[in-house]
Amino acid sequence: MLNNDTGKHKSVGEGQEGKTQKDEEQKVQSQWVQIVSQVMEKVVSGTNMSTTIEFDDLEVDIPKAKGPDGRDLGGATWKLNGKVVWITEAHRDQGSI
């Protein structure tokens, strides 16, 4: 059995192996994206549904950064309190039968 972790048989078709590994990584990343996007789609695009995100004393440290002219933009602490609500509604298209 070929064990890819040990790097055995590396000299045989090394370029092809590298390509296969890259393909595998891309496939894995697309799986992650697929799972996250499916969950996000449910949250964002459900029809006739209200979705609420409530922030309660959420503290976010914004790190120091350099501006376009090399200026120091400084850091900050943001405190978030409140709700974001979005409601999705389905409407019949007037042009449809």
Partner 1 sequence: MILFGRKHLHTSESDQIVNSLFKILSSVTSGSIKLEVANQPAMKIEINTNDQVEGNDNNRTVVRLDLLEPTFFSVPDDQTGLFDKLRTAAEFAQKLTDNGITFSLLRKGKEAITLGEEARPSLSRIITKSNDIQVNSIKESAKLKNDFDDA
In this structure, are residues 2 and 9 in contact, taking their beta carbons and an 8 Å threshold? yes
Output the smallest distance, CB 25 to partner 1, in A. Answer: 6
Q: Which is nearer to partner 1, 12 or 85 (CB)?
A: 85
Nearest to 87 by CA among 55, 54, 53, 48: 48
Would you count residue 65 as binding partner 1 (CB under 8 A)? Answer: no
Give the long-range contacts of residues 72-78, CB within 8 A, separation 24 or more. none
Copy the structure tokens of residue 81.
């309190």
Nearer to partner 1, 56 or 69 (CB): 56
Phi–psi pair at 88, nearest 5 degrees: -110, 135
Which is closer to partner 1, CB of 36 or CB of 73?
36
Write down the least CB distance from residue 55 to partner 1, Å.
6
Q: Is 28 in the site for partner 1 (CB under 8 A)?
A: yes
The yes or no reply on residue 45 touching partner 1 (CB under 8 A) is no
- According to the binding rule CB under 8 A, does residue 25 interact with partner 1? yes
Are 51 and 43 a contacting pair, CB within 8 Å?
A: yes
**In the set 32, 89, 91, 96, which binds partner 1 (CB under 8 A)?**
32
